[in-house]
Chain A
């Protein structure tokens, strides 16, 4: 009997307990509430029904696809530019000294503080959204690439110098392979920032399909069910992207001793 109890309360089972309680409270709390009230709107059943409705009508996929497309394009633009700038700063000490501090300073601008400026420069439509996402991805990628290249140990650099490696060979065989752990950190942070920026851009800039749009529509119509669906999708996708990069990290860095 005792061992049974222990198994039931094993690490994972115990963590699930509060979730079950919350779910039960969620289901029970709605009873007796007036139809159309906020609680009724956000009940577990309403969320489920709306979810099925939106999936059937294709509305959910349309919004989801739009957000995914934005994060991919924005990250591709900002992330690749960030990697290039990070490499440049890592290779050239002078570029580093001149532009490194500038980059650190500009990074401190709150990303959503750029929304009004980008809105004026690019209009409130799609290009401003992509610009915001690209900027969000740019900084983590640039800073982590920079750090990775800068921290390549001096002995490797000396060997490369000894063999009179050209720039290409230095990058290909010394700098980039040694910067992989940092690059992956940049990828992880850059993707998660880009994802936040996608949702923010969709909320703040002109409405167009996207998960932010689903959230905004839910807010305007007091449809808690739509908001909850949006939150679950945004959170779940962020988690999945993070998990994917972590899996990539495990695979690429499997040579490392005690990498967990």
Chain B
């Protein structure tokens, strides 16, 4: 039986188990509930969590909170990734800049975003600017490093051709450096965006009046485990969707590359 399925090389058969896996998770979840291993107010049955999801969706609370978190991610990510792109590009094109500021960047990069948070709170208060700066800080490094990497790995002979044609700086960037570094930059952007999503939830745990992290933290204090579980699932699904979307984009723009692993 299992061999018969394995032998049919259709896409459907290949993807069937992956499509099944969410149902397995829900099945196991329901089973554990049925076995009464934990009280239902600790492990809420899936159907009940789904009900909560629907009612949160219905009264607009869920979308409102997702929107608030998404707005923070967009603002912080745009600032951090933009700065990262500029810095990575500049350091890649002018090696002197990299020699001068490379060490400083390496040192700053060692500190995880979460350790910056208390300092930023003291400096900016726990308001909106703190959250956006934490996200920007976290989005900056992956983009800066992967841009630098991409620019540095532009093949020597292409640079020679560009020099031969006497490309000016702008043409050089637009015609050669940017296209050549694009796959690497996109990888950095994907990492930065999924990290931003991870961080916004953390930043909202410190203090917030809106956002998905705030919704979960508030529900925790009210002992509404169903709402917390909806929050966990929703943040996971959003993170997954962002990652998949950017993987597609990455694949699309690097399809010309000969062999990529």
Binds A, one of B54-62, B74-82, B217-225, B249-257: B217-225
Let me know if A137 is at the binding interface, CB within 8 A: no
Is there contact, CB below 8 Å, between A199 and B194?
A: no
Binds A, one of B114-122, B146-154, B159-167: B114-122
Question: How far apart are B71's CB and chain A's nearest CB, in angstroms?
Answer: 17
Let me know if B260 is at the binding interface, CB within 8 A: no
Task: Tell me which residues across on chain A come within 8 A of B24, comparing CB atoms.
Answer: 98-99, 102
Is there contact, CB below 8 Å, between A231 and B119?
A: yes
Task: Tell me which residues across on chain B come within 8 A of A167, comparing CB atoms.
Answer: none
Let me know if A60 is at the binding interface, CB within 8 A: no
Question: How far apart are B42's CB and chain A's nearest CB, in angstroms?
Answer: 7
Let me know if B127 is at the binding interface, CB within 8 A: no
Let me know if A215 is at the binding interface, CB within 8 A: yes
A219 to B126, CA, bound (A): 11
CB within 8 Å for A227 and B198 given contacts A98-B20, A108-B239, A238-B112: no
Interface size on A, residues (CB 8 A): 57
Interface residues of B in 87-133 (CB under 8 A from A): 96, 99-104, 107, 110-119, 121-123
Let me know if A116 is at the binding interface, CB within 8 A: yes
Let me know if B84 is at the binding interface, CB within 8 A: no
Interface residues, chain A, with chain B CB atoms under 8 Å away? 11-12, 14-19, 22, 38, 93-94, 97-102, 104-106, 108-117, 119-121, 192, 195-196, 199-200, 203-204, 211, 215-216, 218-219, 222, 224, 227-228, 230-231, 234-236, 238-239
Interface residues, chain B, with chain A CB atoms under 8 Å away? 2, 6, 17-18, 20-22, 24-25, 42, 96, 99-104, 107, 110-119, 121-123, 194, 197-202, 205-206, 212-213, 216-217, 219-220, 223, 225, 228-229, 231-232, 235-237, 239-240, 243
